[in-house]
Amino acid sequence: HTLANGIDLDYFDPAGIYANPYTRRAPVAVFTGAMDYWPNVQGVIWFADEVLPALRRRRPDFEFFIVGLNPAPAVLSLAKRPGVTVTGRVPDVRPYLSHADVVVAPLRIARGVQNKVLEAMAMARPVVAPPDACQGIAAVPGTEVLVAATAAEFVSSVNAVLAGDEPA
């Protein structure tokens, strides 16, 4: 038997009104997920090491928020870097998704449907993710999701979103 994976579209309604959790108005990318799960840990470390520096060279005020429960020590250490915030557990991820300029899912290891991608898409946010994180999701690459496999592709896609050139 095959079971479809999905999320609650009423709960992740982009028309909802959510208080802005970001304290200043700067370009923001957000990642949401359990932060003690190795693929998530590896993904945010890779993004912070390989993508974030290039984004901050172009936009020094660019911020990367890592939102999720149980941040591993390696994730907590990322908060020492300029432009990185690690929230830990939050009562509701929807405000973080709703007010983010872009949602990133920089997973280096991704198997199965990624609910974090579905949640961001349901909230009508631009999503940048590698090909493996998009498998099993009926979304048109370049139109409904930006697919980026390399650091350079992530940088290019996030900059395109921030410039207003993201998919409709």
Contact call for residues 141 and 148 (beta carbons, < 8 A): no
Q: How far is CA 77 from the centre of its chain?
A: 19
The residues that bridge with 65 in the sheet, in sequence order, are 30, 85
pLDDT tens digits, residue range 3-24?
A: 566 788 889 999 999 999 998 8
pLDDT tens digits, residue range 107-135?
A: 887 665 577 888 998 899 999 998 887 77
Tokens 């250490």, residue?
77
Contact call for residues 41 and 74 (beta carbons, < 8 A): yes
pLDDT tens digits, residue range 39-98?
A: 999 999 999 999 999 999 999 999 999 999 999 999 999 999 999 999 999 999 999 999
Question: From CA 64, how far away is CA 71, in angstroms rounded?
Answer: 15
- Kindly state the tokens that stand for 26: 């700067």
Question: What CA–CA distances, in Å, run from 129 to 37, 63, 73, 117?
Answer: 17, 18, 24, 8
Question: From CA 34, how far away is CA 38, in angstroms rounded?
Answer: 9
Question: From CA 67, how far away is CA 75, in angstroms rounded?
Answer: 10
Q: Which helix (H) or strand (E) holds 87?
A: strand 84-88
pTM (predicted TM-score): 0.91
